[in-house]
Amino acid sequence: MKKILITRRLLKSNEEKVLKIFKANLNSNDELYSQQKLIELSKGCDGILTSITDQINEETINRLPDTIKIISNFAVGFGNIDLQAAKKKDIAITNTPDVLTDATAEIAMLLILGAARRASEGIEYAKNSSWKWSADFLIGKQLTGARLGILGMGRVGRAVAKLAKAFGMIIHYHNRSKLSPELEQGAIYHDSIKSLFSVSDILSINCPATKDTINIINKDSLEYFPTGAIITNSARGDMIEDEAMINALNKKKIYALGLDVYKNEPKLNPGYLNMKNVFILPHIGSATKETRTAMANLAIDNLDEFFKTGNCRNKVN
């Protein structure tokens, strides 16, 4: 039986499943392992099941025992792992695509609604019982007829487009390449971010963090948006330059911001703390029982497939 290190506690049914297939080193206290501890615990193991909270950089990879042949990341994103270093050491890296598409698209819609309809302010007023109804109380922006720019029209981007259409939004997108008409479903393609941002009443960021997308929302690109645009991010925090965003919110260039992800999680840039027009969640895009169960099952299946066949359909390096 192969031996696996599992760096974070999984849901009960997932841990039961893993123990049927592998000898597993579980983390029942859900402690955040240091690099040293992760390396120690992986001794004698054949693979590791990691989470987005594990920073598997080049140094960590180089210090892993040679018995480690696969790192199965319990996430669709894999920015926490140095793919090149893993490849050099002949360690396969896998992810969990598809199964979290709908849950993440739901959170993207929550961000859009929360930012557009001033949910943070509304919650505060309601909890303090400090409000009275009036015709102009907490006036927000309506989605019907608004142009939604989707940055990154992969699985999640397309799922957001489908939901947003039900709200009467008009879908525009930018992607590395134009999609086929079946995948586009009537969405309007823009071959540059400048062109997309300039028609985005609301932007939903759904692209992966790569060297091309890190800080893609910055002082210069914020100028491309119509004044009063809304920006939301349910992908990765790296895409937004926070100081530039805070400035744009203060100047009312940007009307509101919705974030499920941000730089240096869990430490939010203090500049956002007292802003009424930000609606921020703690990286819960995939946090439903169905989705987290499916993600961990897929991460376990990826390990199983790899050990049985020497390959895996969800290998990313």
**What is the binding site for ligand DGY (CB under 6 A)?**
52, 75-77, 100, 285-286
Q: In the complex, what is the shortest distance from the CB of residue 247 to ligand DGY, in angstroms, rounded to a whole number?
A: 27
CB of 313 to ligand DGY, least distance (A): 17
Residue corresponding to tokens 């615990």? 41
265 as an active site residue: the answer is yes
* CA 223 remoteness from chain centre: 25
Tokens encoding 89: 């050491």
Are 224 and 197 in contact by the 8 Å Cβ rule? The answer is: yes
Residue 77 Cβ vs ligand DGY, minimum distance, rounded to whole Å: 3
Single out the catalytic residue among 236, 241, 292, 305. 236
Three-class SS of residue 187?
A: coil
The three state secondary structure string of 105-143 is HHHHHHHHHHHHCCHHHHHHHHHHCCCCCCCCCCCCCCC
Residue 236 beta carbon to ligand DGY: minimum distance, rounded to whole angstroms: 7
Q: Which residue has the tokens 């869990």?
A: 266
Could you check whether the bond before residue 266 is cis, i.e. omega within 30 degrees of 0?
Answer: yes
Choose among 227, 232, 219, 226: nearest CA to 280. 232
Residue closer to ligand DGY, measured from CB, 63 or 313:
313
Q: How crowded is residue 106: how many other Cβ atoms within 10 Å of its Cβ? A: 18
Total number of residues shown for the chain? 317
Strands 229-233 and 202-205, sheet pairing:
parallel
Closer CB to ligand DGY, 42 or 104, in the complex:
104
- Based on the number of CB atoms within 10 Å of its own CB, is 53 exposed (0-12), middle (13-18) or buried (19 or more)? middle
The residue (of 258 and 285) whose beta carbon lies closer to ligand DGY is 285
Q: How far is the CB of 127 from ligand DGY (least distance, A)?
A: 28
Which of 241, 283, 292, 305 does the annotation list as catalytic? 283
Among 279, 276, 274, 165, which residue's Cα sits nearest to residue 233? 279
Q: Minimum CB separation from ligand DGY for residue 233, in Å?
A: 11
Residue 190 three-state SS: coil
190 is catalytic: no
In the chain, the amino acid numbered 248 is A
Active site residues: 236, 265, 283
